[in-house]
Chains A and B, each alone.
Chain A
């Protein structure tokens, strides 16, 4: 079949892009070549709309071993150990088939991590659904949760933390972001850079089927009578095969046979082979007849574009083929030598003894398009002036009930009870805390991880929102006593071709960059998911930030549950009473405008570091960061988890009581300390110029807010825990 511009456009390429391909090749590409270009030059692989802006993110630091550009980022956690981690989206597939979409998302991110030689030790996820009233929400939620659990549980990797939110902007575009942490020895990290000539290129794992050959295959099928047969098929995850692949790869990695290894993720064999060749500045030659196929009569086009799961491409040292094959045979996986490295700097494909494609590697990678898309700046919205009398008719207990049972605040136990969070025997902080924490097996160390996003703040003002997500993530790590090290980001946005959505992207990235630079919290990996939109309407900008921190002595880890009666509860950080975009303003007052709370990075850093020094000295009994819902929600969760109450002092601030309790000012934590340590704690905080005040004292069973308001812990619990299971069973 002859290729022309129309076919290129059906493959998602722009007319200019097609012309550029013809110019680079000095000829018209054939269909297989066109398919390869369309896969490499699409947004997902080429980052053509985002590259320009992502470059501005801080990616280096003393602890960074590998920044963006590899399968995942790598950080140093001392003693020769390193953590490999990354977050990735699987949004569109999860909307079409929630179970398989979410499952293969989890499978894909774990592969990215063990490709680098690391054994996955923890999974996290950030999932976002439409309004709870929307007819699709419940089924999507159930499917996604089952899919994440189905895959992660079978792999035997604990799911230790996550985030779930509901917002009508996700009605037509849910978000499923999956994150994995892996543990590796610093001197046993594997990369994807090919090296050396004439080295065997090996295909391992599952067989190749017609899975996920996206729109591209539709385009080709329209020239075929059997269009029904060739409809793009959803990738089906096979966690059992992935478990075998994990064990087999780690077994092979114990030796020194592997030169480079790359997982076949998006655009399968195409992107994996080209990326390896490109990084090594080499050519690669593949005999497609050697690729293990699941279906009969697969064409070169289909083999190259298939997104079948659980496959890897390896470049081996010569002569190690037999040894490697033995390992993959033991694990009952396919193993095939499909090609070799060359010095041609071309990717050359052969099928039935004929050359079916020949493309210079640099045209696919370095020469891929890059756009400086038009974007619109978002002005900082004007503050609302809430007259104090709007609060007069409100009863604190009623508001508290409404907020604690709000789907975005309530306990997500219904979800995380379906994830195995204790397998591997090292989970020392389970889901539901500020961060999940796992011990580094056999050591005194532990690693904390948290994933956060604040779409509402990002939507109100992307620059501030971007900063805020990073700051909140940092606080969540600090709250468990971990020193934050680095982050990975998953940037979920609408269409980059829409100036507003593009503006949201640019400014969120700028905010993320500013905060991570100031906090010395570099970005080491991530991905971008654009086109989360239905018709003209994009989702609220939703960058998910996954942060990782280190606890040197796991016995010093902090949890949020109140520990002992008569202990003193302090608040760190100043409460100014910022109500705009707070849960209170949005739910109780139904005010959706106004700016998000300001982020003062100096205070964030100073408050966080001071808290870490208190924890290091053993002065902190429990801690929790203050975020959505303000002081009262944070306190409620500490009471519920500890099954203890608190008697609050009268606020020293002159601001209104409701504003004091529900405002969402940033940079704040609540901590519990023993009475005898009060002087020492005050001294340290004063010395560091950290604003702090006494909130109250821990008592039995009741939260006493003021002389008129008393709520029992059991009531708080019922507000917070019942909503989810009621919703799912209704």
Chain B
């Protein structure tokens, strides 16, 4: 399976993502933001970081960069696009997924492990995944997901919520919400479920000696799902 990771000038999780994708069997290519053409890919990843310093609004300037035109076309033609952290912020700015990401409720950058629960498994990202509750890692300042009531209704009607913040027992409550996201939302799909934006970093959870191994589970499952679908 082929994957592409887009490197913006201020991306800083691009290498981590590259390591993770390669570890679980993807043939990954790094793609520079100023390129026009996306290489043939089964998965495109917008990695974490500070794409353009994240001045103005996070992801706002990256969403206007050259390569994004190809990424948007790829997504619209049904290709799998996953945005992690800053990548999620970029997806939101391009409009590929609905909503916005505001500054964390307590106005502080948060770096820690969190538990998340996939809302449903009818998509290539979480289908067949062994666990119902996963331990992922977050590291962000602007991960407070927000949308209007109308949008929220539409999102819920279309099953676009991908993952929720919860505790280790899967309870989705306000006290397990690290950043103030509406409804504890940690990740969102587009209507077609081929585009996923999420704040947590699975690529930081791929080794027992790091923060944990639920990221390994995620990537192994993802590549299997892509293989089986093609």
Contact = CB atoms under 8 A, between A and B. Distances in A.
A557 B204 CA distance: 19
B12 A155 contact: yes
Given A418-B109, A423-B139, 9 more contacts: A155-B12, A241-B53, A243-B10, A422-B137, A422-B201, A422-B210, A423-B12, A424-B16, A425-B207
Contact of B13 (A149, A156, A241, A330): A156
Contacts of B53: 154, 238-241
A421 to B, nearest CB: 6
B147 interface: no
A417 B50 contact: no
A236 to B, nearest CB: 12
A418 B109 CA distance: 5
| Contact count band on A | 20 to 34
Contacts of A244: 9-10
A332 interface: yes
The 8 A-B pairs with the shortest beta carbon distances in the complex, nearest first, are: A156-B12, A240-B53, A425-B16, A154-B50, A420-B139, A418-B109, A428-B209, A420-B111
B109 A423 contact: no
15 contacts: A153-B141, A154-B53, A156-B13, A156-B50, A238-B53, A240-B52, A240-B54, A244-B10, A331-B9, A417-B108, A418-B110, A423-B48, A423-B204, A555-B209, A557-B209
Nearest to A426: B210
Interface string B101-131: 0000000111110000000000000000000
Count chain A CB atoms within 10 A of each CB in B48, B112, B139, B211 and give the residue with the most. Answer: B139
A709 B17 CA distance: 50
Most buried by B among A418, A424, A425, A557: A425
Interface in A421-438: 421-428
Interface in B168-225: 201, 203-204, 206-207, 209-211
Contacts of A427: 210
A418 B50 contact: no
B9 A418 contact: no
A85 to B, nearest CB: 20
A555 B203 CA distance: 20
A332 B32 CA distance: 14
A422 B9 CA distance: 20
Given A156-B49, A423-B16, A428 B110 contact: no
Contacts of B108: 146, 417-418
Given A425-B16, A428-B210, A418 B49 contact: no
Contact of B210 (A153, A416, A425, A555): A425
A153 B52 CA distance: 13
Contacts of A239: 50, 53
A531 interface: no
B8 to A, nearest CB: 10
A18 interface: no
A107 B49 CA distance: 17
Contacts of B109: 146, 149-150, 153, 417-420
B111 A240 contact: no
A416 B108 CA distance: 11
A554 interface: yes
B50 A243 contact: yes
A554 B209 contact: yes
A242 to B, nearest CB: 10
Contacts of B54: 154, 240
Contact of A422 (B11, B49, B50, B111): B111
B209 A418 contact: no
Interface in A265-315: none
A156 B140 CA distance: 12
Contacts of A247: 9
A239 to B, nearest CB: 7
Contacts of B1: none
A421 B111 contact: yes
Contact of B111 (A241, A417, A428): A417
